[in-house]
Structure 1
Amino acid sequence: MARIVVIGAGMGAMAAAARLAVAGHRVTVYERAETYGGGVGRFERDGFVFDTGPGLLHLPAVYRDLFVKTGKEPLESLVGLEQVDPASRHLFADGTTVTLPNASRAGVGAALDTALGAGTGERWADFMGRARDAWDRSRRPLLEEPLRPDWQVLGRDPYPAVRQRRLLRVRQAATLAGVGTLELRDARLAALLEWYALGYGLDPRRAPAGAALLAYLEQTFGSWYVRGGLRELARAVYERCLARKVEFVFGAEVSRVAEKDGRAAGVELAGGTVAEADHVVDGTGPDGLPGRPPYREGEVAPRPDPRTGRFTVLLALRGARPPGTPHRTVVHSAGGAGSAEAAEPEAGAVFGGGTAAHPTVTVLRPDDPATRPDEAHEAVTLTATVAAPGPAGGPDWTDPALRERYAELLVGAAGAAVDGLGERLLWREVRTPAETGPVPAPALAGAGGRFLRPANTTRLPGLYAVGGWAHPGGGLAHAGMSGALVAGLIVEGADFRGSR
């Protein structure tokens, strides 16, 4: 039985801790905050309950596997998991609206044809077929295996872009934005595609065409809601850890990783106490611990891309949620389809470290009694992807005037999705990257490896990196995968070839 210290109680870190404890190891988690879950937070006031992190779950199979492997219990026996149908409603700037069913490729095509015009559904279906190819080609090496020593092979884009001959030139999409322009050939379809990337903190103008698999994942495996909010999933993972005798120490900040004989030997806490360990699992943020880059020489380094996060407005509304209201509505940027501007200004602002004048706003309206004081009220969450402060600068989200101005932008856009929003508003709360931090994007194949994440092994033997800032990147499902990979590397060592 090995002694294992885990730094941080985020979702990936807890997933690793539970799996390691089941394997017979003694696991202690040190978390500097006073609670678990990392970015999967919750805000409660006056009987209203809101998620302050992700609001929907994709690829629930990752967490089903976690609970089966750590206790032989189905996920659905521990949380109320339900598919969201319709998956989303989209309001485009030219006034058109489309409502997309959940996990139905034929249904999505029919909805697009009806709402956006004949032929749009077929073009989208053809695109999804190519996105499926990208998924099939990259799924295992990108998500289910440790980062390969020859990770450069993942620099090739797995998306089979259509070769188009124009006069004497052959063109094909190299980026996600290029797929929208060259293959979808409809500004609204392009806006729909780019929304999937933007929601993950990816710049569609620079993300490789292989990012198309993000849209494929959601439309194929569906969108899922956890009753009571995604915080309930974090609670279930935490309680699974406790049931497997994982020890948690909250309010404990780790200052450095202790070394002995050229390998990790534990951690030193801020007060000077040293906790000895045979292995250390680091789930800290994008910069890691001081003086310890989470990668080995010759392997992929941390991405220098601009950091993004979520600007979130939590709305407490009087009045019941109307029957038939979609769980999720997306109000696309006014600089998108049907306007005189190109869609680029939003991405240009976000990834240029500024603020978008017309942000794309996602409106979440769960039909969940646990989120509201009674049936005469409704809890609504608005989110937009924004620049997060980093080494290169970024907006000062602690500025009250900026927070208020941007909150007004989101509320104004959400008025297109929520009737009578202004008259119904009781109060609102704002959360920005100043409180919730930057959000890591998922790893992607293509672009020469620029969108990969650092390996789970590090240059220091016995030290492992877990969570969204390590392989295979950000997102709830990806964090769970990183936990499985780290546990496999520790339990099986060099023989580990990936999750099964």
Structure 2
Amino acid sequence: MARIAVIGAGMGALAAAARLAVAGHRVVVYERTDTYGGALRRFERDGFSFDTGPGLLPLPAVYRDLFVKTGKEPLEACVDLVQVDPSSRHVFADGTRVSLPNASRAGVVAALDEALGSGAGKRWGDFLVRAREAWDRTRRPLLEEPLWPNWQVLAEREPYPAVPHKRLLRTRRAGTLAEVGAWELRDARLTALLESHALAYGLDPRTTPASAAVLPYLEHAFGTWYVRGGLRELARAVYERCVARKVEFRFGADVTGVLEKDGRASGVELADGTVAEADFVVAGVAPGTLDRLSAPARVRGDGEVPPQPASASRVTVLLALRGARPEGTAHRTVVHAADREAELDALFGTAARHPRPTVTVLRPDDPRLVPDPDHEAVTLTTVVPARPDEPCDDLTENMITVAERAVPDLRDRLLWHDVRTPADIAEATGAEGGAVPVPALAAGGGRLLHPSNSTRVPGLFTVGGWAHPGGGLPHAGMSGALVAGLIVEGPEFRGSQ
């Protein structure tokens, strides 16, 4: 039985802790805040309850596998997991609206043809076929296996089978997501639909490789899911599974250093001077934090994937509304920006903040979120640069104005609102600027890969959104499985079969 110290109680760290405890190890989790779950937090006021992190769960199979491998009770016995249908509703710049069925290619094709005109659905359906090929090519190396030592192969090879595009005397293939939209989808609204999946992670579609086609495909193939009571309930269930497997938790325990002895990790030092010895250390922290805990030159060497720089964050507006949620309301509505280029320049360039950003509106049909049936809890989210000190008052008003396209009587029904900024994300997760990590993607020169779960320091591993395979709830759960495999089976571990 090995002693394992886990730094942080985010979802990747919890997933690793539960798996390692089941394997017979003594696991202690040190969390600097007073709770678990990382970005999966909850805000409650006046009988209203809101998720302040992710509001939907793609690819629930990752957490189903976690619960199967760590105990007799399956995931569905611990949380009320439901499929969201329609998967999403979209309000485009020209006023066109479309609701997309959950995990139904034929239904999506029919809905797009009806809303956008004949042929739109087929173009999107054909795109999904190509996106599936990219998914099949990258699923194992990017999600189910430890990062390859020759990761440059993933960085250089574009897995998306782009359609040849003839222009004048040249034939080109899309290399970015924006080019996929322009050359293959050929409709500004379909392009907005495509790019919204990248934008949700703070990715610029103009520079994001075409391999990001796997993001909409993942949602299409595996559905969109919600946990009743909010996604915080998923964090609770994973935490309770850890406790049931005898994982120890030390909250309010700020780790200030990773200790080494004889050239390998030997434990952690806490802010109060306490030393906790360990045979392995698992760091579920952002790169900047890990650099402070252990010298960067010791953790990462030349030729390894560097940490992804802080880029984009989110602002979330929590709305308490009087009046019941109308029958037939979509759980998720994406209201697209009227000026795509202006929004992208504001997010990824030097232009001023765009006054009418793309806003995601979440309106769960969940009585556990409201004081009674005559009220509704609504959450608005938009992407912003990772600058925690930037004021958000004007942006909040702009987001509410945009959301009125999805909730026409919003201001008349508004009781109060609360705002979560990049500074709040930074406080919850420790990520510089409140940055949100992106999922690992192939091509693009490796810009969207993440550092390996193993480090140059024997016995020190990294887990969570800032390590392989990157950000997002499914990816965090996968990172936990990879780290547990590397510790239990050793360097020869090659992932799930």
Pairwise TM-score range, normalised by the shorter structure? over 0.9
The 1-side partners of 2:353 and 2:140 are apart by 37
The RMSD of aligned alpha carbons is 1.1
Quick one: distance in 2 between partners of 1:295 and 1:67?
A: 32
Q: Does 1:371 align with 2:372?
A: no
AA of the residue aligned to 1:188: R
Q: Which secondary structure does the structure 1 equivalent of 2:24 belong to?
A: coil
Distance 1:355 1:234 in 2: 33
Write the deviation string for residues 247-304 of structure 1: whole angstroms up to 9, x where unpaired.
Answer: 0000010011001000000001011111000000000113133153353432111123
Structure 2 matches for 1:263-342, cutoff 5 A? Answer: 263-289=264-290, 290=292, 291-293=294-296, 294-304=299-309, 306-335=310-339
- 1:6–1:282 CA contact under 8 A, matched in 2: yes
Question: Alpha-carbon deviation of 1:489?
Answer: 0.2
Q: Which digits, 9 at most, give the CA deviation of each residue in 1:199-256, with x for residues without a partner?
A: 0221111110000000000011000000000000000000000000000000010011
Equivalent AA in structure 1 for residue 402 of structure 2: A
Residue 417 of structure 2 is matched in structure 1 by 428
The reply to whether residue 227 of structure 1 matches residue 223 of structure 2 is: no
Q: Is the 8 A contact 1:295 1:457 kept in 2?
A: no
The answer as to whether partners of 1:28 and 1:249 remain within 8 angstroms in 2 is: yes
Q: Percent identity?
A: 71
1:40 CA displacement? 0.5
For 1:449, the equivalent position in structure 2 comes to 446
Alignment of 1:387-426 (within 5 A): 387-389=385-387, 396-397=389-390, 402-426=391-415
- Amino acid across the alignment from 1:257: V
In the TM superposition, what are the counterparts of 1:7-406 in structure 2 within 5 Å?
7-155=7-155, 156-289=157-290, 290=292, 291-293=294-296, 294-304=299-309, 306-335=310-339, 343-352=340-349, 355-389=353-387, 396-397=389-390, 402-406=391-395
- State the shift of 1:157 in Å: 1.1
Structure 1 Cα separation of the partners of residues 458 and 239 of structure 2: 27
- Deviation for aligned residue 1:344: 2.0
Structure 2 letter corresponding to 1:260: K
Cα offsets for 1:128-177 (capped at 9, x unmatched): 10000000000001100000101111011110111122231012110001
CA distance in 1, matches of 2:264, 2:91: 54
Tell me the secondary structure at the aligned position of residue 405 of structure 2. Answer: coil
Deviation at 1:348, TM superposition (A): 1.9
| Letter paired with 1:434 | A
Structure 2 CA distance for aligned equivalents of residues 23 and 355 of structure 1: 50
Q: Which amino acid aligns with 2:86?
A: P
CA deviations over 1:38-64 (Å, ceiling 9, x no partner): 000100000000000000000000000
Task: Give distance in 2, aligned partners of 1:90 and 1:21.
Answer: 43
Q: Please give the secondary structure, in 2, of the residue aligned with 1:468.
A: coil
Query: Secondary structure of the residue that 2:452 maps to in structure 1?
Result: coil
Deviation beyond 4 Å, 4+ runs, structure 1: none
**Amino acid across the alignment from 1:463:** L
Residue aligning to 1:439? 436
Matched residue type, 1:413: V
How far apart, in 2, do the equivalents of 1:210 and 1:222 lie?
A: 19
Q: Which string of whole-angstrom CA distances, capped at 9 and with x for unpartnered residues, describes residues 413-432 of structure 1?
A: 00011121111000000001
CA contact (8 A) 1:104 1:219 kept: yes
Q: Conserved in 2, the CA contact under 8 Å of 1:333 and 1:359?
A: yes
Between 212-221 and 289-298, report the one with greater CA deviation.
289-298
Amino acid at match of 2:37: G
- What's the secondary structure of 2:207's corresponding residue? coil
Amino acid at match of 2:312: T
Q: Given that residues 33 and 252 in structure 1 are in contact (C-alpha distance below 8 angstroms), is that contact kept between their aligned partners in structure 2? A: yes
Q: Could you tell me how far 1:345 is from its partner in structure 2?
A: 1.9
The total of aligned residue pairs comes to 483
- The residue type paired with residue 334 of structure 1 is A
Residue-by-residue CA offset, 1:72-130 (whole Å, 9 max, x unaligned): 32211100000000011100110111110000011001000000000000000111100
Separation of aligned partners in 2, 1:405 and 1:286: 31
SS at match of 1:234: helix
Partner of 1:340: none
When structure 1 is superposed on structure 2, of 464-473 and 67-76 the one drifting more is 67-76
Determine the C-alpha separation between the residues in 2 that align with 1:295 and 1:117: 52
One-letter code of the match for 2:295? Answer: R
Please, which moves more after superposition, 360-369 or 198-207? 198-207
Cα deviations across residues 341-372 of structure 1 (Å, max 9, x unaligned)?
xx122122112376332210000000000000
Instruction: Tell me, in whole angstroms, the C-alpha distance in 1 between the residues paired with 2:484 and 2:268.
Output: 19
Structure 1, unaligned runs of 5 or more:
336-342, 390-394
1:480-491 paired onto structure 2 within 5 Å: 480-491=477-488
Q: Which moved more, 1:293-302 or 1:106-115?
A: 293-302
Distance 2:287 2:402 in 1: 31
Contact 1:295/1:455 (CA < 8 Å) preserved in 2?
no
- What amino acid does structure 2 have at the position aligned with 1:292? A
**Structure 1 Cα separation of the partners of residues 258 and 354 of structure 2:** 40
Matched residue type, 2:381: T
Of residues 251-260 and 70-79 in structure 1, the stretch that sits farther from structure 2 once superposed is: 70-79
1:22-47: per-residue Cα shift (whole Å, max 9, x none)? 00000000000000000001000000
**TM-score scaled to structure 2, two decimals?**
0.96
Provide the TM-score with structure 1 as the length reference.
Answer: 0.95
* Partners of 2:308 and 2:466 within 8 A in 1: no
- Give distance in 2, aligned partners of 1:168 and 1:366: 51
- Residues 11 and 33 (structure 1 numbering): CA distance in 2 closer, same or farther, change over 3 Å? same
Instruction: Give the secondary-structure state (helix, strand or coil) at the position aligned to 2:58.
Output: coil
Structure 1 residues 453-492: aligned runs within 5 Å = 453-492=450-489
Describe the SS at the equivalent of 1:494: coil
Asked if the contact 1:355–1:387 (Cα under 8 Å) also holds between the matched residues in 2, the reply is no
